[in-house]
């Protein structure tokens, strides 16, 4: 045998954006249906929050790290963990982990988590403005959603924060579905089937 030679192995990673956006689409649609009173209870919402909100977005995040896509890797990863945390909080409040934990629930603690995610999402919105118009609008509606969730969980929202959160989730679901289909179709066909729009570029690069 000849001398061993260094080999450079290139791993080709497909764009996982459509998968992550599908996860966001489904979980916000189901969660919104519960908030608006179209459906009842959180039991099945937890399932979609774990498998679509969390697992799908975390998988997209891992592949986006390999894809060297900083925005997708960080945002999908952060919101995948967000839905894992939220679904766990719902499960605790329903008594899935025992009556002791359920009895000591304080929803204001979720409010502080929502507040941190709001600040994070605002930074992500600035970055999204460099990518395309659809993602930028999606992030702006997510900002509104997190603001409403924060205010509602901290007890400052009166009667308006809950409905605002619900309709914001409807908006996030609809926009994310368009972005999901656009990412899927445009990447596969190599051309713009569903236009994503020119980025508004808030800060410039």
Q: What is the pLDDT of residues 52-66, one digit of tens each?
A: 999 999 999 999 999
pLDDT band at 1 (very low <50, low <70, confident <90, very high): very low
107-115: long-range contacts, CB 8 A cutoff, minimum separation 24: 107/153, 108/153, 108/154, 108/155, 110/86, 110/149, 110/153, 111/149, 111/150, 111/151, 111/152, 111/153, 111/154, 111/155, 112/154, 113/85, 114/146, 114/149, 114/150, 114/153, 115/150, 115/154
CB 90 within 8 A of CB 106: no
Residue-wise pLDDT for 145-162, tens only, equals: 999 999 999 999 789 999
Q: What pLDDT is stored for residue 2 in this prediction? A: 47
pLDDT band at 12 (very low <50, low <70, confident <90, very high): confident
Mean pLDDT of 188-199: 96
Distance, in Å, from the CA atom of 61 to the CA atom of 186, rounded to the nearest integer, reads 20
Q: What pLDDT is stored for residue 6 in this prediction? A: 53
Q: Report angle CA 122, 193, 80 to the nearest 5 degrees.
A: 35
Q: Tell whether the model's pLDDT for residue 174 goes beyond 70.
A: yes
Portion of the chain with pLDDT greater than 70, in percent: 94
Mean pLDDT of 130-136: 97
Q: What pLDDT is stored for residue 11 in this prediction? A: 61
Mean pLDDT of 105-134: 97
The full set of domain ranges for the chain reads 17-189
Mean pLDDT of 19-26: 98
Residues 6+ apart with CB under 8 A from 156: none
CA distances from 31 to 27, 49, 68, 185, 202 (A): 6, 8, 31, 26, 31
CA distances from 201 to 55, 57, 158, 179 (A): 31, 25, 35, 18
Mean pLDDT of 5-24: 80
Residue-wise pLDDT for 83-99, tens only, equals: 999 999 999 999 999 99
Residues 6+ apart with CB under 8 A from 84: 49, 50, 53, 54, 58
Residues 6+ apart with CB under 8 A from 32: 166, 167, 169, 170, 173
Portion of the chain with pLDDT greater than 90, in percent: 89
pTM over 0.85: yes
């Amino acid at each position: 045998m000849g001398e061993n030679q260094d080999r450079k192995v290139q791993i080709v990673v497909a764009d996982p954006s459509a998968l992550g956006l599908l996860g966001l689409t489904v979980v916000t649609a189901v969660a919104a249906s519960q908030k608006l009173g179209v459906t009842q209870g959180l039991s099945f919402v937890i399932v979609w929050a774990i498998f679509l909100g969390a697992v799908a977005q975390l998988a997209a995040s891992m592949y986006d790290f390999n894809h060297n896509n900083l925005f997708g890797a960080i945002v999908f990863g952060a919101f995948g963990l967000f839905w894992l945390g939220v679904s766990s909080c719902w499960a605790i409040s329903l008594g899935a982990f025992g009556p002791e934990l359920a009895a000591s629930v304080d929803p204001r603690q979720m409010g502080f988590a929502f507040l941190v995610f709001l600040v994070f999402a605002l930074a992500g919105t600035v970055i999204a403005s460099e990518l395309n118009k659809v993602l930028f609008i999606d992030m702006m509606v997510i900002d509104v959603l997190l603001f409403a969730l924060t205010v509602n969980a901290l007890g400052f929202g009166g009667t308006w924060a809950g409905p605002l959160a619900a309709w914001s989730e409807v908006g996030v679901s609809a926009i994310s579905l368009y972005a999901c289909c656009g990412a899927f179709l445009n990447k596969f066909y190599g051309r713009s089937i569903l236009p994503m729009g020119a980025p508004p570029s808030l800060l410039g690069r």
